[in-house]
Structure 1
Amino acid sequence: MFEKRFYVEGLAHASYLIGDSGQAAVIDPKRDVDDYLEAAERERLKIVAIFETHPHADFVSGHVELAARTGAPIYISHRAPATYKRSPMRDGDVVRVGSLEVRCLETPGHSPDSMSFVVCEGGAPVSVFTGDTLFVGDVGRPDLRDAEEKPTQLAQALYDSLFGKLLALPGETKVFPAHGSGSLCGRKISSAPFTTIGRERLYNWALQLKDRAEFVCAMVGNLPDRPAYFSNSVRINLAGAPALGSLPELRPLTEEELKTASAHGAVVIDTRSAPFFGAGHFPGSLSVGLGSNLFSTWAGFFVVSGKPIALVVGSPDAAQRARIELARIGYDDVIGYIEADSLTQTRQLSQLGVDELHFALKRGEAPRLLDVRTSGEYEAQHIEGSIHIPLPSVPRRLGELPKDRPLAVICGSGYRSSIAASLLRIAGFSRIQNVMGGMGAYLETQPPEWEPSDLVFIGENI
């Protein structure tokens, strides 16, 4: 059996091409589908099936485009309220792909319409594609479709799907999930690309919770923040996203066009790194650096779905990359880009060095500190007296922050703090600084015993 994994960093999304005897299937395709077509052509395989484990919340699928380009049917749970042409599947249904037999298992829990697909060779299960139901070292969260079904009810369904169906498979069955480490669809997902049913029985933390009530309680507690775009992605996936090639060509903007777009409600995202943003940026722009794999996730936290987006970039290549990353979460309305060097009217965001911060703290003259790291990071180590507000919570907790005194924002590296600082600027905070290098640099730098005034040499002391 041919088997290839495709992985999108940042979204931590895994999709798969499997095949045998000249035929192939794609499981949970990403938005940009050319990779599957090219791989299938190289392997002399014809894509005859597209399997969707559920309508995804964290990324927009390319299933409808792939179906249009290959003629392959889309297989998804009969419970999914999809409006595109598809083949609704039920428990026990079988699809043949070459000599492979793909058996459908209804495994609700992460969503009401989750399915797993068991691949059999010679009648015996060899692998199972579990979507967001079972991960390596973790299980799916049950709250992302809470508008349709209560998380407690989905957690109960998840328990039944895991203990009653997936764990009933042979221990040697390989498990291929839709996400890896860093995905917001779980809590403690491993970075390992696959696992086995037997290994998960022994080591998966959630599968040690064999008492149903204890399991449900654990599933609905301590859930990570979810970006606002998640609900919009589900809606797009149920209808089917337009083909990526059908989107308007990304065009360069003049500064006047950018000003006009901003005045009419477009969100301006500056994709450069924090130091470049600090040195000079378009007034009112949001700093989300493209250098991080989490670019699209952070954009999805703070940009309202459906709003037009204009990009400030370091180069046209960066604009094209940002366009793809945004399209993967359903943000298609990117009206254009401007190269930062073309801007003539900019604002600066002061960058505070960690040496300066050490000295200011030593003298009792430091600005108020806002730490935007996660609760776990903050609890492990933080600067005494700092305010802690995790980055996703900043927009709704602005009232807790002082507008009448200087405020320095810190994170782990300076990336998230730049996002937060730009959000505060947009909200009207004027005395904002970004701590360069974040806590990582701060902890590595020990304050020297000398004072800055010691560096001023006079006369014969030079």
Structure 2
Amino acid sequence: MLVEQIYTGCLAQGAYYIESNGEAVIIDPLREIQPYLTKAESRGAKIKYVLETHFHADFVSGHVDLAKASGAQIIFGPNANPTYESYIAQDGEELKVGNLTIKVLHTPGHTMESTTYLLKNESGKDYALFTGDTLFIGDVGRPDLAAKSDLTREQLAGHLYDSLRTKIMPLADDVLVYPAHGAGSACGKNMSKETFDTLGHQKETNYALRATMTKEEFIEEVTHGLTPPPSYFPLNVMLNKQGYDSISEVLEKGLQALEPEAFETAANETGALVLDTRHPETFAQGFIPNSINIGINGGFAPWVGTLIPDIKQQILLVTEEGREEEVVTRLARVGYDHTIGYLKGGFKAWQQAGKEMDTVESISPQEFEQRYKQNQKLPVVDVRKPSEFQAEHITTASNAPLDYLNDHLAELPKKETMYLHCAGGYRSMIAASILKARGFDKVVNVQQGFKGISETSVPRTAFVCPSTL
């Protein structure tokens, strides 16, 4: 028996490869399927099933492509109604994979089709539980992400309470818990950085599994403090439910190398968004006017999904040379399939062609401290989340969270120089690029963000209501 977790940190997502006696199963695969095919082929195994725990909201699964390429059967649990060929398993049904057994446990709550899969080893003993978004390490799935559900989040939370207590908590303490996500995913509120655990330890430490917890208490705690999900979540659900273009087609279309002249023409004629994925400080030194910077080395996919509301938006890329395919692939993982090309030769080619460029002033924390000392009325805009801002912030700062920056553009001062910061410099450069594209010319980015600014030089305030723009 082989059980392997294939964890993708940028999405905080766990897919799984299970193999026994020449047969394999993939659970919740990512969009790019070749690694799964290669693994199975190298081990002389045939992929028999692709198991989906639910219709994912935060990424596009590779289940459709993988089934076509391998001949595997797509499996969902009860209540799923995809538009493509698949098998809808019944609650309690058992699937055979080599010498192993996988039992289907319908666990509605996160969504109504949510299903967990209980793996039994060769001797029939319960070994591991693949929980999808039903149970995380340290948390449970949000009950507000079901697409087009007639149920309220409180009603879904009630279903989740019942699922956990009737299907999962009665299992033995030594059963391993393998969730679909870890810390950093927006599918839960307070997930652990650990990516698996024993069920027994989760019963002891996971707030949602308290033995004495009533359903009313569970509903209150699980729904408390939920922030609105990213706008792309329901769009990804529909792609996972209805199918999508092959990843090979997406790559072929996206990996069109465009010379500067052709790139500029495409941008002007199509209305495509120019997305620059280089390092924030590299971007600051020179970029194509009106382009948006979301660095590939940060929380790339979630920020793309948050800030580009239309997954059908055409996109032109400026990347570090050699990373074009990586960027197109990572966009496709979250449903952005309409990349139409990239700048051949990178931004250096744009400069050499004598094309127009723009810059963002980006200063060190020490330089910011000096300017603040000279003028404590500097307009400081903190683009961190409200919870970060409330915990501690520069006393004179206003809070304009990056997630909702577009909603507050009319309230931001255009005539004054704004000093933008986040926690470490990644989000503030995204904000600076958006503001520059919207006609805010007087923006300054503070490198290293709040962490780099000396508390002794710039006064801070903690645990007070934020001044929200």
Q: TM-score range by the shorter chain?
A: over 0.9
SS of the residue corresponding to residue 394 of structure 2 reads: coil
The reply on whether 1:436 has 2:447 as its aligned counterpart is yes
Aligned counterparts of 2:245 and 2:424: Cα–Cα separation in 1: 37
* CA positional deviation for 1:280: 1.2
* CA positional deviation for 1:361: 1.5
Aligned counterparts of 1:124 and 1:138: Cα–Cα separation in 2: 26
SS of the residue corresponding to residue 214 of structure 1 reads: helix
1:86-235 alignment runs, 5 A limit? 86-121=86-121, 122-145=123-146, 147-148=148-149, 149-208=151-210, 210-235=213-238
Counterpart of 2:229, as a letter, is R
Unaligned runs of 5+ in 1: 448-462
Counterpart of 2:328, as a letter, is R
Aligned counterparts of 2:127 and 2:198: Cα–Cα separation in 1: 10
How well do the aligned residues superpose, as a CA RMSD in angstroms? Answer: 1.7
Counterpart of 1:431, as a letter, is K
Q: What corresponds to 1:75 in structure 2? A: 75
Counterpart of 1:98, as a letter, is G
* CA positional deviation for 1:375: 2.8
Q: What corresponds to 2:317 in structure 1? A: 311
Q: What corresponds to 1:427 in structure 2? A: 438
SS of the residue corresponding to residue 172 of structure 1 reads: coil
SS of the residue corresponding to residue 453 of structure 2 reads: helix
Counterpart of 1:340, as a letter, is F
Aligned counterparts of 2:398 and 2:155: Cα–Cα separation in 1: 36
**Which 10-residue stretch deviates more, 325-334 or 205-214?**
205-214
Q: What corresponds to 2:247 in structure 1? A: 244
SS of the residue corresponding to residue 384 of structure 2 reads: coil
Aligned counterparts of 1:258 and 1:392: Cα–Cα separation in 2: 29
Please give the per-residue CA displacement for 1:294-321, whole angstroms capped at 9, x wherever unaligned. 1111111111210110001221x12111
Aligned counterparts of 1:137 and 1:65: Cα–Cα separation in 2: 32
* CA positional deviation for 1:146: 5.3
Q: What corresponds to 2:462 in structure 1? A: none
TM-score (norm 2): 0.91
Question: Is residue 107–residue 114 contact of structure 1 (8 Å, CA) maintained in 2?
Answer: yes
Q: What corresponds to 1:454 in structure 2? A: none
Counterpart of 1:223, as a letter, is L
Question: Is residue 176–residue 194 contact of structure 1 (8 Å, CA) maintained in 2?
Answer: yes
Aligned partner of 2:398 among 387, 398, 407: 387
Counterpart of 1:43, as a letter, is R
Aligned counterparts of 2:61 and 2:89: Cα–Cα separation in 1: 18
Aligned counterparts of 2:386 and 2:439: Cα–Cα separation in 1: 26
Aligned counterparts of 2:337 and 2:104: Cα–Cα separation in 1: 33
SS of the residue corresponding to residue 321 of structure 1 reads: helix
**Which 10-residue stretch deviates more, 373-382 or 414-423?**
373-382
SS of the residue corresponding to residue 237 of structure 2 reads: helix
Aligned counterparts of 1:444 and 1:384: Cα–Cα separation in 2: 11
TM-score (norm 1): 0.93
Aligned counterparts of 1:218 and 1:260: Cα–Cα separation in 2: 53
* CA positional deviation for 1:195: 1.1
SS of the residue corresponding to residue 419 of structure 1 reads: helix
SS of the residue corresponding to residue 15 of structure 2 reads: strand
Q: What corresponds to 1:269 in structure 2? A: 275
1:292-331 alignment runs, 5 A limit? 292=298, 294-303=299-308, 304-315=310-321, 317-331=322-336
Aligned counterparts of 1:268 and 1:15: Cα–Cα separation in 2: 31
Question: Is residue 57–residue 232 contact of structure 1 (8 Å, CA) maintained in 2?
Answer: yes
Aligned counterparts of 2:95 and 2:390: Cα–Cα separation in 1: 50
